[in-house]
C-alpha cells in the first residue's frame, strides 16, 4: 500500500498585460506545469497578472502562503513596461547589483549580432543581490532564484523558448536537488465512439472511490475521450506497480472503445497500423481543405504511410484532378453521397494507395440551404473494393466543424482499416 506523502505545491505567476487582454496566449504555464508534474510537484494554482507593481507584490504574498515553489515568468525586458525585476528587489528587500556573468553574456550577444551596446541593454545585467543568477543561454534576461522563509521563487523571462531553456537546464535540476520529491506517474488511454458520461457509467462501479493518491481524469475532445490515471507516491517502484494494476483494470473496462493505450493522437494510431501492414493512404479534402493532411503530416514518420492529399475545394478540382463526373455534381451536388464516393475512387487511383478518406460539406457560416443546412458533411472512407459513406451534421462554428469533420473522418478510417486488415 502506498503511503500518502506531503505534497510540494507550486504556483505559476505569469506577468504581462498582453496575457490579460488576450493578445498573447499563456503557453508558458502549460509548459512549466508539465515539467513540474514530471518531477512530482503539484501545480496548485496559476495566476495571470498585469505589469503592475502592487499586483505583483500581492500575488507573491498570496501565493507564498500555501505554495513552496513559485515560478514567475514575464516582465524582464529592458523596456519601461517590464517592472518585475525592481519589484522583486523590493519584495526581497534587496538592492540592484550588476552581475558580471550576465553583463558578459549580454555583451557577447550584442557583439554576435553586430549591434551597438547601449545603457538600456546594460540594465539587463542588473539583478537583486538576494538572488542566485540562472544563466540564460538563449537571451539577455537571466533567470533569478530566490529563497525566503522556506519558499523558492524563480523568476524567468516571458519569451517562451528562453523560459523553456531555463526550466530544463537550471530550474528542474535545482528543484530536484533541493527538494524531496514524490514520484508522479501518468498513464493515458484514448477512446472513441462513446461520450464521457456514458464512459463514466461504464467505469464508475470499479473506479468510484479511489484513494487520495490516485486520480482519474476525463479529457474529451473532438468526439473522443482521453482517460488519464495519475498515481503519486514517494516510492517509484510502488507507484509503478500500482499504476500498472489500476491501468490494466481500466483498459479492461473500456476495451470496446479503446483506440490506444497511450497518449497518442488518432492519426498516429492510423499511421502505425498502416506502417505495420506496409499499406498507404491518401485524402481527398473539400471542406477540410487539407486539415486531415496537416494532422497526419504533423506526426513524425508520416511518410511511411501517407502519400498525399488532394485539396479539391472547387467542383472543377474535383472533376479535373479526381475525375468526379460533371453530371454527378450537377445532379446530386458537391455535398452528396454520389460525389464523395467518386472522390474516394478518384484519389485511390491518382495517389495509388490502399486506403482513402474524403470529405465534402458545408462548414458555414454561409452556404447552407434548407435541404443541406450548414454543418452537413459527407465523409467517406474506402479501399479499391469498398467505400463506406456517411452523412453527418455538425452544429458548431466553421473552425470547430472542420476539426470535428477531420477527427470523425480519421476515426471512420481507423475502423475501416481495422476491419479490412482483420486486426
Ligand atoms: P517579457 O519577458 O514580459 O518581456 O515577455 C517577452 C515576450 O514573451 C512577449 O512577446 C510576450 O508576449 C511573451 N510572453 C510573456 N509571457 C508569456 C506567457 N505566459 N506565455 C507565452 N508567451 C509569453
Ligand atoms: Mg512584458
Could you tell me which residues are beta bridge partners of residue 377? 361, 392
CA 87 to ligand 2 centroid distance, Å: 14
pLDDT of residue 211: 84
90 and 206 co-located in one domain: no
CA 64 to ligand 1 centroid distance, Å: 23
Instruction: Please report which residue ranges of 114-232 form alpha helices under DSSP H.
Output: 119-122, 160-166, 172-178, 196-207
pLDDT of residue 6: 64
Protein residue with least CA distance to atom 4, ligand 1: 77
pLDDT of residue 183: 86
Average pLDDT estimate for 182-199 = 91
272 and 375 co-located in one domain: yes
Least confident of 108-112, 264-268, 348-352: 108-112
- Residue 29 pLDDT > 50, yes or no? yes
For the stretch 356-415, pLDDT in tens is 999 999 999 999 999 999 999 999 999 999 999 999 999 999 999 999 999 999 999 999
pTM of the model: 0.78
Contact criterion met (CB below 8 Å) for 211 and 232: no
User: What length is written for the chain?
Assistant: 423
- Residue 132 pLDDT > 50, yes or no? yes
Contact criterion met (CB below 8 Å) for 283 and 381: no
**Where is the domain boundary, 232, 260, 288?**
260
Peptide bond into 21 cis (omega under 30): no
- Residue 418 pLDDT > 90, yes or no? yes
Residue 217 lies in a domain: yes
Closest ligand relative to 24 C-alpha? 1
229 and 256 co-located in one domain: yes
Average pLDDT value for the chain: 94
Residue 2 lies in a domain: no
- Residue 3 pLDDT > 70, yes or no? no
- Residue 1 pLDDT > 60, yes or no? no
Which strands make up the sheet holding 42-49, listed edge to edge? Answer: 42-49, 9-15, 69-73, 151-156, 143-148, 132-134
Average pLDDT estimate for 70-84 = 92
CA 168 to ligand 1 centroid distance, Å: 18
Closest ligand relative to 162 C-alpha? 1
| Most ligand 1 atoms within 8 A of CB, residue of 13, 20, 22, 24 to mutate | 24
Protein residue with least CA distance to atom 23, ligand 1: 158
165 and 294 co-located in one domain: no
What CATH number is associated with residue 306?
Answer: 3.90.950.20
Buried-state track 366-376, b at ≥16 Cβ within 10 A, e below 16: eeeeeebebbb
For the chain, percent of residues with pLDDT exceeding 70: 99
* 81 band by pLDDT with thresholds 50, 70 and 90: confident
- Work out whether the CA dihedral 250, 252, 255, 256 comes out positive or negative: negative
pLDDT of residue 182: 85
Which of 142-147's residues contact partners 24+ apart within 8 Å by CB, and which partners? 142/99, 142/102, 142/105, 143/170, 143/171, 144/85, 144/88, 145/170, 145/171, 145/174, 146/88, 146/92
Residue 121 lies in a domain: yes
Residue 166 lies in a domain: yes
Protein residue with least CA distance to atom 14, ligand 1: 158
Residue 1 lies in a domain: no
| φ and ψ of 80, to 5 deg | -65, -25
287 and 149 co-located in one domain: no
43 and 115 co-located in one domain: yes
User: Could you list the residue range(s) of the whole structural domain that residue 395 is in?
Assistant: 266-421
| φ and ψ of 198, to 5 deg | -70, -35
For the stretch 253-270, pLDDT in tens is 999 999 999 999 999 999
Residue 122 lies in a domain: yes
CA dist 378 and 318 (Å) reads 15
- Residue 322 pLDDT > 90, yes or no? yes
**Where is the domain boundary, 155, 178, 201?**
178
Residue 3 lies in a domain: no
**Where is the domain boundary, 178, 211, 226?**
178
166 and 254 co-located in one domain: no
Q: Which residue has the higher pLDDT, 82 or 47?
A: 47
What CATH number is associated with residue 246?
Answer: 3.30.70.2860
CA dist 92 and 162 (Å) reads 24
For the chain, percent of residues with pLDDT exceeding 90: 83
170 and 106 co-located in one domain: yes
384 and 363 co-located in one domain: yes
CA dist 39 and 180 (Å) reads 10
CA 85 to ligand 1 centroid distance, Å: 15
Question: For ligand 1, which residues put their CB under 6 angstroms from it?
Answer: 14, 16, 18-19, 24, 26-28, 73-77, 82, 157-160
- Residue 134 pLDDT > 80, yes or no? yes
DSSP string, 297-363: HHSTTGGGTEEEEEE--SHHHHHHHH---HHHHHHH-SSSHHHHHHHHHHHHHHHT-SEEEEEEE--
For the stretch 13-23, pLDDT in tens is 999 999 999 99
What CATH number is associated with residue 89?
Answer: 3.40.980.10
Least confident of 177-181, 291-295, 321-325: 177-181
278 and 343 co-located in one domain: yes
pLDDT of residue 4: 42
CA 63 to ligand 2 centroid distance, Å: 21
Protein residue with least CA distance to atom 19, ligand 1: 26
288 and 373 co-located in one domain: yes
> Looking at ligand 1, which atom is closest to the CA of residue 48?
19
- Residue 5 pLDDT > 70, yes or no? no
C-alpha cell recorded at residue 316: 472543377
pLDDT of residue 234: 85
Which candidate, 182, 181, 186, places its Cα nearest to that of 246? 186
Q: How many domains does the chain have?
A: 3
298 and 412 co-located in one domain: yes
Amino acid at each position: 500500500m502506498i503511503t500518502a506523502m506531503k505534497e510540494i505545491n507550486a504556483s505559476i505567476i505569469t506577468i504581462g498585460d498582453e496575457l490579460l487582454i488576450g493578445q498573447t496566449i499563456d503557453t508558458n504555464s502549460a509548459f512549466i506545469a508539465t515539467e513540474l508534474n514530471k518531477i512530482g510537484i503539484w501545480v496548485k494554482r496559476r495566476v495571470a497578472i498585469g505589469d503592475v507593481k502592487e499586483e505583483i507584490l500581492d500575488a507573491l504574498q498570496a501565493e507564498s502562503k500555501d505554495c513552496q515553489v513559485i515560478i514567475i515568468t514575464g516582465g524582464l525586458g529592458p523596456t519601461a513596461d517590464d517592472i518585475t525585476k525592481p519589484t522583486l528587489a523590493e519584495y526581497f528587500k534587496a538592492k540592484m547589483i550588476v552581475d558580471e556573468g550576465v553583463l558578459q553574456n549580454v555583451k557577447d550577444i550584442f557583439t554576435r549580432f553586430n549591434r551597438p551596446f547601449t545603457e538600456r541593454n546594460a540594465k539587463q545585467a542588473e539583478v537583486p543581490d538576494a538572488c542566485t543568477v540562472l544563466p540564460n543561454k538563449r537571451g539577455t534576461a537571466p533567470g533569478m532564484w530566490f529563497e525566503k522563509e522556506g519558499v523558492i521563487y524563480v523568476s524567468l523571462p516571458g519569451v517562451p523558448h528562453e523560459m523553456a531553456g531555463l526550466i530544463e537546464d537550471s530550474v528542474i535540476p535545482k528543484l530536484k536537488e533541493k527538494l524531496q520529491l514524490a514520484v508522479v506517474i501518468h498513464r493515458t488511454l484514448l477512446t472513441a465512439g462513446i461520450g464521457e458520461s456514458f464512459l463514466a457509467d461504464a467505469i464508475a462501479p470499479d473506479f468510484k472511490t479511489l484513494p487520495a493518491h490516485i486520480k482519474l481524469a476525463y479529457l474529451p475532445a473532438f468526439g473522443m475521450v482521453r482517460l488519464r490515471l495519475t498515481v503519486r507516491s514517494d516510492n517509484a517502484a510502488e507507484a509503478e506497480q500500482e499504476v500498472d494494476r489500476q491501468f490494466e483494470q481500466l483498459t479492461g473496462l473500456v476495451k470496446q472503445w479503446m483506440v490506444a493505450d497511450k497518449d497518442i493522437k488518432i492519426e498516429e494510431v492510423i499511421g502505425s497500423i498502416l506502417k505495420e501492414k506496409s499499406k498507404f493512404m491518401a485524402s481527398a479534402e473539400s471542406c477540410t481543405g487539407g486539415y486531415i493532411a496537416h494532422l497526419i503530416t504533423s506526426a513524425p514518420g508520416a511518410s511511411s504511410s501517407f502519400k498525399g492529399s488532394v485539396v479539391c475545394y472547387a467542383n472543377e478540382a474535383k472533376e479535373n484532378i479526381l475525375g468526379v463526373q460533371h453530371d454527378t455534381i450537377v445532379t446530386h451536388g458537391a455535398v452528396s453521397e454520389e460525389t464523395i464516393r467518386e472522390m474516394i475512387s478518384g484519389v485511390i487511383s491518382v495517389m495509388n494507395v490502399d486506403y482513402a478518406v474524403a470529405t465534402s460539406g458545408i462548414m458555414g457560416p454561409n452556404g447552407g440551404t434548407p435541404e443541406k443546412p450548414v454543418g452537413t458533411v459527407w465523409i467517406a472512407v474506402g479501399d479499391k473494393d469498398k467505400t463506406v459513406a456517411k452523412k453527418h451534421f455538425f452544429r458548431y462554428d466553421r473552425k470547430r466543424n472542420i476539426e470535428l469533420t477531420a477527427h470523425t473522418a480519421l476515426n471512420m478510417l481507423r475502423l475501416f482499416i481495422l476491419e479490412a486488415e482483420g486486426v
